[in-house]
Amino acid sequence: MITGPLKSKIDKLWEEFWTGGITNPLTVIEQITFLMYARMLDMNEQADEKRSARTKKAFNHRFNEQQQHLRWQNIRHLGAEELYKVVKDELFPFFASSSSEDNEGSLFAEFMKDAQLMIQKQSLLVKAVEMVNDLPLDNSDTKGDLYEYLLSKLTTAGINGQFRTPRHIIRAMVEIMDPDKTSRICDPSTGTGGFLSVSYEYLLEKYTSAEGIEREPLFISEGDDAGIPMLDIHGKQVENVLYSGDLIEPEDRKHIDTDMFHGFDFDATMLRVAVMNLVMHGIKQPDIHYQDTLSQRFSENFPNEAKGGMQIILANPPFKGSLDEEDVCPELLRKVKTKKTELLFVALIERMLQVGGRSATIVPDGVLFGSSKGHVQLRQLLIDNNQLEAVISLPSGVFKPYAGVSTAILIFTKGGTTDHVWFYDVQADGFSLDDKRTPIKDNDLPSLVAEFKARDKSVAETDKNDKTQKAFWVSKDDITSNKYDLSINRYKEVVYEEESYDPPKEILGKLVSLENEILADLKVLEKML
């Protein structure tokens, strides 16, 4: 969490871009990302230089002798005209070519090939460089939160039905999946990398000893209330909690940095943002690639990831994506004959999982009850050929202000078959369900996670399985007899309270009495005139 002065710096930086004529939020984040990357390259180069001087061991330099003038410590002191020329004509081309195998250059080079400086005003570039230089990118505890705050300003839906998944929804899904330090985690429609970054935060928290936790109480820093403790919606003091991950062994750290996190997307801008997001959180070499995962080329380019290679998949795939049917992987079309991306993505996820692998995927409600052949085929695939563990219904306002679409989370394990499905009806997520999404006290998400982990299938066929409650079980037989319908309203029982009314004659008598009182009052008024 970041507060006070740091938020103000980011807000001011954001305002400078807007007043400078760059009003697309994604473009603003992308341009800030480029400048952060330029600074981080130099910071890491300086760190390696100091380590090399101390250990007398050589390292792969990011900048050769002719490129020293492109280092952040040198460009940030240039005048406006020269700065603009160097950044536009030399620094951005350098981004695309800085691909040393042993540093972060190789990670970014794939996404920097078409990088462009969109800042047209020299004065804006000078201000942006000054402000990025003031951000605490050397503080590993805050830079992840800093980038998350930047991403929170991404309040417009992208093309092809993409929109940012709220972080508290992601957190609940990650807690349900409960990854460990040996997991291989993937998001086949990565976007800004939220599922992967939150998974890493969860791992740090999970593998931190009591001694490795650092708590920092937060206070209001500005205005008349400066110095007063900052309180949350429940009246408790807000605090920064820093998890060191001290229980993670060096060999596990290598796996986390290089082979735990995998992501794919075909939006180059999103990928740049995703990679920076993960690097800022502390993952050195996340496996992120430019790739349409529904394409048949996915299997050709990434055979190990495309089929049976993942243990956990977390995703919120695009719902209304444009689709080139001829390019869709034939194997997916054999599973689900459809043009709808939301159906194809779930089939893709099922294929990408290894047997025993698990997924938590957000889908629009139409996936649960759609009557087309493709809809029924997909639900049949999940129930007959896999273990569909849970269907979690989300309130329709969860994705506001981006979209008002009703959604659900599908939890399933690859392989086996389904005998009962656990349903949960989330009615509140801790925020109002209007466009403002202000914090409120009602929040079912902690209860959802706790009840999911404590769910007991043995009560499914007993009187304890109360279908009037938020959580209940439904048998496979009930689902198949309803054309594999998975919508919660199909099975939830609503109890109607009987209303008692007075006899009609009594009600009529009361109405007559009221009318007489009104007439009497009118006569009194008439006499007064």
396-406: pLDDT as tens digits: 888 877 677 88
Structural domains for the chain? 4-157 (1.20.1260), 167-208+245-490 (3.40.50.150)
| Separation of alpha carbons 219 and 228, rounded Å | 5
pLDDT at 277 over 50: yes
* pLDDT number for residue 101: 45
Residues, the chain, total?
529
Residue 148 reports pLDDT greater than 60:
yes
Handedness of CA 289, 290, 294, 298 (dihedral sign): negative
Provide the pLDDT for residue 221: 67
Quickly list DSSP for 458-486.
GGTTSTT--TTSSEEEEEHHHHHHTTT--
How many Cβ atoms from other residues are within 10 Å of residue 73's Cβ? 13
What backbone phi and psi angles, to 5 degrees, belong to 190?
-60, -40
pLDDT-derived band at 159 (thresholds 50, 70, 90) equals very low
Query: What pLDDT is stored for residue 491 in this prediction?
Result: 94
Query: How far apart are the two ends of the chain, measured CA to CA in Å?
Result: 70
Q: Is the pLDDT of residue 285 over 80?
A: yes
Q: What is the mean pLDDT of residues 411-415?
A: 96
pLDDT of 349 above 80: yes
Residue 79 zone, left/alpha/beta (φ > 0; ψ -120 to 50; rest):
beta
Q: What would the pLDDT profile of 199-233 be if each residue is shown by its tens digit?
A: 999 999 999 999 988 887 877 766 777 778 878 78
Q: How far apart are CA 276 and CA 283, in angstroms?
A: 10
Residue 415 in this model has a pLDDT that exceeds 90: yes
Q: Is the pLDDT of residue 172 over 90?
A: yes
Higher pLDDT, 29 or 280: 29
β-strand pairing of 310-315 with 287-290: unpaired
Quick: pLDDT tens for 242-271: 788 889 998 899 999 999 999 999 888 888
Would you place residue 10 in the very low, low, confident or very high pLDDT band (cuts 50, 70, 90)?
Answer: confident
How large is the average pLDDT for residues 470-476?
A: 95
Evaluate if residue 497 carries a pLDDT over 80.
Answer: no
pLDDT exceeds 90 at position 361: yes
pLDDT in tens, 328-341: 888 998 999 888 89
* pLDDT of 156 over the 60 cut: no
Examine the pLDDT at 191 and tell me if it is beyond 90.
no
CA–CA distance, 6 with 140 (Å, rounded to integer): 15
Share of the chain above pLDDT 70, in %: 92
Q: Rounded distance, CA 281 to CA 100, Å?
A: 22
What does the alpha-carbon distance between residue 155 and residue 151 come to, in Å, rounded to a whole number? 9
- C-alpha 216/C-alpha 470 separation (Å) is 36
Quote the Cα angle for 62-64-68, to 5°: 90
Residue of 154, 242, 179, 251 whose CA lies nearest to 205:
242
- CB contact burial 360-390 (16+ within 10 A = b; e otherwise): bbbbbbbbbbbeeebbebbbebbbeebbbbb
What average pLDDT does the segment 450-458 reach? 95
Burial class (CB in 10 A: 0-12, 13-18, 19+), 396: middle
What does DSSP say about strands 429-431 and 471-475: parallel, antiparallel, or unpaired? unpaired
Residue 98 binned pLDDT confidence (cut-offs 50, 70, 90): low
pLDDT at 452 over 90: yes
- Report the alpha-carbon distance of residue 264 to residue 293 in Å, rounded: 7
Place of tokens 């007559």: 512
Strands 261-265 and 287-290: parallel
Question: Residue 398: beta bridge partners?
Answer: none
- Residue 434: CB atoms within 10 Å: 11
| Confidence at 141, pLDDT banded by 50, 70, 90 | low
